[in-house]
Structure 1
Amino acid sequence: MVLRTLLAAVLGSTMSIAWAQQATAPAVVTIYAAGSMSGALTAITHQYTAESGQKIDLVTGPAGLLLDKIEHAAKADVFISANMAHPQRLTAEGNAAPTVVFARNRLCVQARPDVGLTTDNLLDKLLDPNVRIGTSTPKADPGGDYAWELFAKADSVHPGAKQVLEAKAQQLVGGPTAPQVPAGQNAVKYFMATRRVDVFIGYCSSHETKPDSTLVQVELPANLSLSADYGMTVLEQPQTATTRNAAYRLALYLMSPEAQDVLTRYGFTPVARLATASR
């Protein structure tokens, strides 16, 4: 409750408009969101539409590329990135409301079972010349930035690791020139199955609520662990006052316990539940 009250104060008084004021057909609200959020946000927005009647257009992809589209006049009402820097940039430019933390994630490594990857041998496996590494694309996708942050952190544990890992890493997803993946196939699973890579550095969250039994997912050891704060903001250039009000109402709903509870099923850490538990 404290977090919801604080968010309402930060994002603006328009959030306090009651559901009863939505008597007319609501405008479509467009969300631009990090691709890692596609599963969770699809579930949350379907839930919200069922409860409120609000129509939502959910556009997901590499957050860096989405930011570029927004800065080049793409229509978006709410922006959710896998880092805080992208939405904060829009806030600093005067193009968006203050940025809030929407959810938290962690970095994990996926591998085929035959690799024998564990938390204890993770760095040794990554440095093994015979183990091929896949990552997202730095700058275009925060997932790639976090992978490079991991490489830098590894250098403090094993001097020289940063240079080795950066040279080995194949930037396979999230960039404008990423290799094509057959329609309907998961990119990470595809590159694993075709033996292009043996491990992939990404998030601990998932697009599905059930674990993928075909791959092994390993947590980073404590000395290499990395977390990711997801930032959310409301854009300041909606086409109409109706769209603007609807965007703020949606933003408040995304921070509600009802929406945040969905995040746990996809492997995210919901900030609203954290705040409630700490009281």
Structure 2
Amino acid sequence: MIRKLVTAAALVAGALSAAPAFAQGNTVNVLYAGSLVNLMERSVGPAFEKETGLQFRGYAAGSNKIANEIKGKLRRGDVFISASPKVNTSLMGAANGDHVSWYVNFAESPLMIGYNPKSKFAADFKTKRWDQVLQEPGIRIGRTDPKLDPKGAFTVEMVTKAADLYRQPDLVQKTLGDTENPAQVLPEETLVGRLQSGQLDAGFFYSTETSDLKIPAIRPAPELQAKASYTLTILNDAQNTAGAARFVNFLLSAKGRALLAEHGVDVVKPAVAGSTEAIPSSVQAMIDAAR
């Protein structure tokens, strides 16, 4: 009986060791812009795990917030996906901690004005210009912090341009208030949920968010267009560089790019910035193939 128990235990142990269990060395930690939550957690992450047998572990927040946490050594990761090339630049060079040596632009997503279809202001978005609706009394608007998230900065930039285009010098104050207006500024990863739950009537979102979650949205005039430019890199202090390279390769592959397109992201030809010598050879080969 003891022998049988020992044998059974050995078989179980062998099966566990052979199974694609997600041990620490098989985990890829991906830090990414909060606008990509649904895409990463429900689509790219599971597809990557199925394709490679590795575990995807994601962390979402405003791109600048993530960069600040990296610089402050409050957070480590293997891969960093930002919504703006400027964020990567802030992590490059000895003066900035030398956290990033290169990055590749791989996708874009225009900024939109999304609204809750059950809001009492929903009908107005169909008949009036968006800036007029955002000035109506009682409307609840959500946006992200321009200091922590490129989308928040793009929002202020777009409304400022609209003030000139539509000859409304007080448009920014009437729609956004102060730059860091606490009644509007929310963490990027919670903004969509607030809109969907009815806590907000309207907000500023990238097209990947509005398309992915079927949020009715208004595209601003071409003269006002602002957009996320998504970048991808492997952090210099990555704990799983091999796994990180496999994740980057997956996202740049035909399958990964198809997933991006399905979720409303505009796929672009990869463009590299920084030290090309620091790019893993397999990643460079995938970048060349995707061009």
Classify the secondary structure of the residue corresponding to 2:148. Answer: coil
Range with greater deviation from structure 2 (150-159 or 267-276) = 267-276
Instruction: Choose the corresponding residue for 2:261, options 231, 246, 264.
Output: 264
Determine if the alignment matches structure 1 residue 189 to structure 2 residue 190. Answer: no
Q: 1:55 to 1:99 in 2, by over 3 A?
A: same
| 1:102 alignment partner in structure 2 | 106
| 2:276 alignment partner in structure 1 | none
Letter aligned with residue 196 of structure 2:
K
User: Partners in 1 of 2:110 and 2:245 — Cα distance?
Assistant: 28
User: Partners in 1 of 2:132 and 2:211 — Cα distance?
Assistant: 29
> Percent of counterpart pairs with the same letter?
22
- Structure 1: give runs of 5+ residues left out of the alignment: 1-24
| 2:38 alignment partner in structure 1 | 39
Q: 1:152 to 1:96 in 2, by over 3 A?
A: same
User: Partners in 1 of 2:201 and 2:56 — Cα distance?
Assistant: 38
On the 8 A contact 1:257/1:273 being kept in 2, the answer is: no
On the 8 A contact 2:145/2:187 being kept in 1, the answer is: yes
Q: 1:251 to 1:61 in 2, by over 3 A?
A: same
| 1:128 alignment partner in structure 2 | 136
On the 8 A contact 1:87/1:232 being kept in 2, the answer is: no
Classify the secondary structure of the residue corresponding to 2:209. Answer: coil
User: Partners in 1 of 2:114 and 2:162 — Cα distance?
Assistant: 17
| 1:155 alignment partner in structure 2 | 163
| 2:274 alignment partner in structure 1 | none
On the 8 A contact 2:27/2:54 being kept in 1, the answer is: yes
Q: 1:207 to 1:217 in 2, by over 3 A?
A: closer
User: Partners in 1 of 2:218 and 2:204 — Cα distance?
Assistant: 10
| 1:80 alignment partner in structure 2 | 81
- 1:109-160 CA-to-partner distances (Å, cap 9, x unmatched) read 1223432204861122223345342211211122211111112111221241
Give the Å deviation of 1:101. 0.9
Q: CA RMSD in A?
A: 3.2
Relative CO higher for 1 or 2, CA cutoff 8 Å, sep ≥ 6? 1
Letter aligned with residue 201 of structure 1:
F
Q: 1:272 to 1:260 in 2, by over 3 A?
A: farther
On the 8 A contact 1:135/1:144 being kept in 2, the answer is: yes
Classify the secondary structure of the residue corresponding to 1:75. Answer: coil
Instruction: Choose the corresponding residue for 2:207, options 181, 185, 204.
Output: 204
Query: Which has the larger share of helix?
Result: 2
User: Partners in 2 of 1:57 and 1:134 — Cα distance?
Assistant: 28
On the 8 A contact 1:39/1:208 being kept in 2, the answer is: no
User: Partners in 2 of 1:150 and 1:119 — Cα distance?
Assistant: 21
On the 8 A contact 1:109/1:218 being kept in 2, the answer is: yes
User: Partners in 2 of 1:244 and 1:27 — Cα distance?
Assistant: 11
Instruction: Choose the corresponding residue for 1:144, options 145, 152, 160.
Output: 152
Give the Å deviation of 1:255. 1.3
Instruction: Choose the corresponding residue for 1:255, options 247, 252, 256.
Output: 252
Give the Å deviation of 1:107. 0.8
- 1:161-204 CA-to-partner distances (Å, cap 9, x unmatched) read 233333176434217xx9x99xxx912223xx24xx43212212
- Structure 2: give runs of 5+ residues left out of the alignment: 1-22, 272-286
Letter aligned with residue 105 of structure 2:
V
On the 8 A contact 1:119/1:219 being kept in 2, the answer is: no
Q: 1:202 to 1:210 in 2, by over 3 A?
A: closer
Determine if the alignment matches structure 1 residue 165 to structure 2 residue 175. Answer: yes
On the 8 A contact 1:106/1:228 being kept in 2, the answer is: yes
Question: What is the aligned residue count?
Answer: 239
Q: Which has the larger Rg?
A: 2
| 1:59 alignment partner in structure 2 | 59
Give the TM-score of the pair, scaled to structure 2.
0.72
Give the TM-score of the pair, scaled to structure 1.
0.74
Classify the secondary structure of the residue corresponding to 1:127. Answer: coil
User: Partners in 2 of 1:128 and 1:97 — Cα distance?
Assistant: 47
